[in-house]
Chains A and B, each alone.
Chain A
Amino acid sequence: MQVRLEKVDDFRWKIARRGAMRVEGLVYADEELLPSIERDRAPEQVANVATLPGIVGRALAMPDIHWGYGFPIGGVAAFDPDEGVVSPGGVGYDINCGVRLLATNLPREEVSPRLRELADALYRNVPSGVGSRRKDLRLTDRELRRVLGEGIGWAVARGLASEDDRENVEERGSIPWAEPGEVSARALERGRSQLGTLGSGNHFLEVQVVEEVYDVPAAEAMGLREGRVAVSIHSGSRGLGYQVCDDFLKVMLRAAARYGIRLPDRQLCCAPVRSPEGRAYLGAMGAAANFAFVNRQLMARRVRETFERDMGWSPREHGIRTVWDVCHNIAKIEKHVVDGRERELCVHRKGATRAFGPGHPALPARYRPIGQPVLIPGDMGRYSYVLAGEAGSAEAFGSACHGAGRLLSRAAAKRSARGRAVVRELEEQGIVLRASGRNTVLEEIPEAYKDVAHVVRAVAGAGLARPVARLRPLAVVKG
């Protein structure tokens, strides 16, 4: 389906209803980002999402949108729980891929002279890379099911997370509708030895410096100060989540046919939210999301241990605390106001982040005055951003972008990087890189990604979230 983008304003482009579309599409972008969005076939995918039953409002796309499978990456779609569907493709394989941000009290001057040492220690202590497993955490099936059922609650009970950690994680790190029983034995097997590991590809652990603060009160609330060091962890539910998605794509392929749902693309397969298949998926997805919350928590714990034991900084010196932890691949049951009426909706965010504005009851007291922190990782050479959700995000079911979005395919990135000493290029910029896989380094070069500053500018222009701080990488650990 050829799709036309019609400009609504400087930050919004509409896809008018055509053919089987039940609602309009809306792409958040700006004039500069638009050409790459149009060249990509992602708008076509936004139009396809708009054909699904029970979709409410509009099929949305964030400025970092790119071509995915079925649903575009950077997409948001909300469905009525009684009339609508839930779709594993609208969440992604890496269920609850997300970002955890830790703030520290350490000034950059304290860390920079020991950056290599710190990078080496983090690389040693946080397992990463293809085939990475943890041998120290041996979980029985029963224990693993508790992780799936309780999320960060399990970690708190085991002394692996503090109450302060829990309070500053989306959903308090525990999805209420998680059902461990819906997670297959194969998924458990895949995930069992991967809890607390980074993975590979675009996952990373980064030591950063707060380079610039744009909103002082918000940054203060988050514990971010210019010149201080921070740490970000970008990872998800590992093999357990991938398997859950895979399992349910098979279920939904058959279910969609049985429920008479016409699919313009197989990967949009879905089932009614209230159906047995829909409920089962929501339960399994919630469990996988809990796994991911605990995954990031355990790695955060390793970071803290590294600062203390390997680097010798005391808790008072490093002052590491959890700023926030976001999901950017998830489907949630949430309340939103639509046409003046409060409704419960099943909101899918695939490559999009929740961004509730100031005053939202779901936010902890610390963030209620300023809005929810929104963590936007960039590529490994440039910068990442921290935003705060704005009231204007309500138009997008409380959502904003999730990251930079790729520009180049991995093969194209490798071709572009061939012959270049990528690691040295980064070091010349003062960035230390530790990576398990050489290919990953080539595939993840900065030029392979859109400039996240552009994406943030468009999100801010659209009123979804406002910039709070910009972080620059100092050391990057990649799998």
Chain B
Amino acid sequence: MIRGKVPWEVLEHTADTGIVVRAKSLPALYERAAAAMFDALVDLATVEPRGDAEEVAVEAPDRETLLVAWLGELLSRAEAAGRVYGEFDVRELGPAGEDWRLVARVRGEPLDPSRHRFRLEIKAVTYHLLEVRREEPDGWLARVLFDI
């Protein structure tokens, strides 16, 4: 489970921007990617996750498209509900039949322009430059580009 800011790098691109994150396990990697995305969106230091946890469940053809589905669902849900998320707990992550499946519980709070420092508008999570791979010696790396 991850709450608040995590270390992440900017993935540079001419028209858009993205994130590179690392973690020791796959679930932690997905949690970090979510935290990094929201940190790119609005400084996570200004976000106070509270209230009830929400469940998120997504499926996709493979591990990488699953990352897009996970981040995309969080982004989309946040915008639709007028919320921002800051706590991510991936409970389930792995193959499920023909697909890959992720189940998580997340917490956040309503958008508050007076407190939340917005950084940029992310239109969508893209499949471009998408990567989820092992990194020596014992970790994982994920790379995702956002449409800005």
Contact = CB atoms under 8 A, between A and B. Distances in A.
B8 interface: no
A69 B14 contact: no
A189 B124 CA distance: 15
Given A131-B113, A186-B80, A73 B15 contact: yes
Interface of A is mostly: mixed
A116 interface: no
Contacts of A254: 61
Contact of B69 (A239, A242, A250, A411): A250
A118 to B, nearest CB: 24
Interface string B45-82: 00000000000000011000100010010001101111
Contacts of A27: none
Contacts of B100: none
Interface of A: 40, 66-70, 73, 92-94, 129-131, 133, 186, 189-190, 193, 199-201, 239, 242-243, 245-246, 249-250, 253-254, 266-267, 406-412, 436-437, 439-440, 443, 479
Nearest to A448: B14
A48 B116 CA distance: 41
Contacts of B147: 69, 92-94, 242
B79 A201 contact: no
Given A131-B118, A437-B118, A437-B119, 12 more contacts: A70-B127, A93-B124, A94-B123, A131-B111, A133-B82, A200-B121, A239-B80, A253-B65, A409-B14, A410-B12, A410-B16, A436-B118
B103 interface: no
B120 A190 contact: no
Given A201-B148, A439-B119, A242 B124 contact: yes
* Most chain A CB neighbours (cut-off 10 Å) among B15, B16, B60, B72: B15
Nearest to A266: B127
B76 A439 contact: no
A54 B64 CA distance: 29
A450 to B, nearest CB: 11
A66 to B, nearest CB: 5
A130 B118 contact: yes
B41 interface: yes
Interface string B126-145: 11101000000000000001
Contact of A439 (B12, B79, B120, B145): B120
B17 A410 contact: yes
B120 A437 contact: yes
Contact of A409 (B13, B82, B119): B13
B108 to A, nearest CB: 13
A431 B120 CA distance: 23
B96 interface: no
B148 A253 contact: no
A201 B76 contact: no
Contact of B14 (A199, A246, A408): A408
B10 interface: yes
Given A68-B15, A69-B147, A408-B14, A190 B80 contact: yes
